[in-house]
Amino acid sequence: MLQFSSASTRIVNTKRGVAECLEVACDGNYDAVDLLIFHASIGHDFQDILQESKRLVPHANVVAASCCGVVGREGVSESMKDIAMMAIKGSDYALASTNDLYGHNSYEKALELAHSLAAQKQGINMIYFLGSGIDIDNDLCIKAFEAVFGPEVTIFGATSSDNMKGYVSYQAVNDTVYEHGAYAIGFCDPTLTVDTQATHGFIAIGEPLVVTKSEGHIIKELNGKPAWTEYLNRLGLNDKSDCGNTIPIGALAEKLSPELAKEYGNDHILRVVTKHDGDDMYYATTCPEGTALWLTVRDEEVIFNEMERIVQNIDSRNNHQKPIAVFHADCLARGRFLTDRILKEELVYKMQTPFYNEGNCPPWLGMYGFGEFARLGGKNTYHNYTTALYVIYRN
């Protein structure tokens, strides 16, 4: 039976930050830890995270990913030196990892992960997946996991990020740091369930851009013109701009069916562009020709109202039971880059307090990344620009 504890800190020295998280989360009882999951801002040395964790807890598996800030039981922090950690006790899990995962081989690489998990443990009913946030086709990753475990398995997690530049992101497993890798944790504790939901606060505007040429997740033409140039022109940016300039303001929206829109609280699902090669735009999911893509604007009222709604939905669906742990993925564009610190802390407060038990926040591991996984319409779905909550309950 798995047990969870968490901690977060803002500290310059990476190894000291790891030690502090372990001390707080584990209260010195390191022998009781079997798995450590770290999120750390891009200013930290990920090899140091692995080495210090292995020095202090040599028997535990260790995974880590880069992000643009963290959310823990202690609240939100978005500096270059943040670390958050979830410590897990128990053996009811399987761990698999891979390197060189890109958009063109996302299905094959994710399928390898899925087969590895299935070979290790039976009864896996939820998968925590963390992959690179740059050049990855997340639809194909979902498809691969479902090919092995079926659509009933819940996939949750995120894609790693940097400080909103779109240059490089890191994933790390035990003794190796990757720039284009991924790891997957399959949980098979029969007493646990996970409930997921995501929300964003952007409104589609104007006339859409239409994808007139694409290959998989790579958009080559919009409105019959070179994609990247047309995208920048629509955003009012010059040709010297890179992905870091577009991420805050360039959320692209795909229209949802009326049924999904009602559940989502929004008429559109959003997508981010985290890489371009010349005029080719690298989308986060498969993007067929003919897809209409709207530009968007941020709406603070929608962000706060929808956050309250999804928290209430999750709480009601689970009969107001208190969770034993919460994983959380947030888009970096919802952080301090577009919301001042006071508003961000208020949003996190509204997110966390309904799950408190006798005044205490449950173990909580949150990150600001490039994308989020959560169910929509009963199906595993990849999202961008959302807050996604993954609330774990004991049956």
| Model pLDDT, residue 300 | 83
The set of residues, in sequence order, having a beta carbon less than 8 Å from that of 319 and lying 6+ positions away, is none
Domain extent, residue 80, equals 3-199+303-394
Both tokens of residue 332? 């970096």
Give the number of other Cβ atoms within 10 Å of residue 134's Cβ. Answer: 23
| Model pLDDT, residue 276 | 95
Give the number of other Cβ atoms within 10 Å of residue 288's Cβ. Answer: 8
Do 56 and 88 fall within a single domain?
A: yes
Whether 124 and 149 have beta carbons less than 8 Å apart is answered as: yes
CA distance 43 to 11: 10
The set of residues, in sequence order, having a beta carbon less than 8 Å from that of 280 and lying 6+ positions away, is 218, 219, 220, 227, 228
CA distance 314 to 279: 41
Which of 233, 268, 298 finishes a domain? 298
Do 241 and 310 fall within a single domain?
A: no
Do 31 and 145 fall within a single domain?
A: yes
Stretch 321-335: mean pLDDT, rounded? 88
Both tokens of residue 80? 């270059």
Do 52 and 189 fall within a single domain?
A: yes
CA distance 1 to 72: 23
What angle in degrees, to the nearest 10, is found between the helix axes of 300-317 and 341-352?
A: 20
Is residue 340 predicted with pLDDT exceeding 60?
A: no
Do 281 and 316 fall within a single domain?
A: no
Do 161 and 291 fall within a single domain?
A: no
| Model pLDDT, residue 71 | 95
Which of 243, 264, 298 finishes a domain? 298
**Residue range 78-133, pLDDT digits in tens:** 888 999 999 999 999 999 999 999 999 999 999 999 999 999 999 999 999 999 99
Do 62 and 95 fall within a single domain?
A: yes
Do 82 and 169 fall within a single domain?
A: yes
CA distance 124 to 180: 25
Do 190 and 79 fall within a single domain?
A: yes
Do 167 and 44 fall within a single domain?
A: yes
Report the number of distinct structural domains present in the chain: 2
CA distance 120 to 109: 17
Do 223 and 239 fall within a single domain?
A: yes
Do 85 and 97 fall within a single domain?
A: yes
Which of 244, 272, 298 finishes a domain? 298
> How far is the CA of 9 from the CAs of 52, 75, 351, 373, in angstroms?
15, 10, 19, 25
